[in-house]
Amino acid sequence: MPFECIMPTLTFEPPSHNASNKPNFAVTTRPRLWTPSLKVMGNLIPAALATPFAGYGIWWMAASGQVGARGFWVFAMSPLVGWLAMNFWGLHQNQSLKTQLLKKLRITRPDVLQSPICFVGIATPKYSSMLDPHEDIGYLILEADRLEFFGDHLNLSIAKKDISGIDYRPNPHSLVGLGRWVAVEGRVGDSRIRLQMEPRERRTLLGNLLFSRTLRRQIEGWLIEKESRVEPGTLK
């Protein structure tokens, strides 16, 4: 079943607790930092680096009339170049976005800095895009009684008691072995809920794929803790 949420009035404020049996979800009026142009560049840079290898290989084979030899091997290098470029440049401007959103978090929600945080990209099950698998980017916050997401334009809160487990799920980065979702599953009343997260703490996609094990382990440990103060700081 799809992720179900409440859409309150546009607000600068974080999601607040509500009496309904739905997770709280808000679209904010904060100016967006993570723009479509940044998403495009994350795809354009790898393509720009890989395409010349493919183009030259095809040209050489067509001009020489030979399928093998130099043209074939240059062409065969293009997927490897594309994979490496996607790993290193697929998260275009990620570190800058991470720093800018942390500044916004400190100003807007200084109270949550007493809880563990992690920079992530998220998506709800209904979301799909050709530009990027992440619906929004921001900070996952593990508070004593709830999980919060403070994003570039989305705010989300799910009570700990409504979360039933954590699992891995594939995303578009999984197709090339460079990523996966850490999915929070649960139920609120009669509705199933799911929030999919991919860490963006590291500078490369492969680094974040490896870090996803740490993120899952941290959330699982948080789930079994009693609702008491947890140690603050960025998840390591």
pLDDT in tens, 163-198: 999 999 999 999 999 999 999 999 888 889 999 999
Residue boundaries of the structural domains of the chain = 36-89, 93-228
The C-alpha angle 106, 124, 151, rounded to 5 degrees, equals: 15
- Angle between helix axes 69-89 and 36-64 (nearest 10 degrees) is 170
- Binning pLDDT at 50, 70 and 90, where does residue 135 land? very high
Average pLDDT, the chain: 85
pLDDT of residue 145: 92
pLDDT single digits (tens) 58-110: 998 888 888 878 888 999 999 999 999 999 999 999 999 999 999 999 999 99
What topology does CATH give the domain 93-228? PH-domain like (2.30.29)
Contact 187, 162 (CB under 8 A): yes
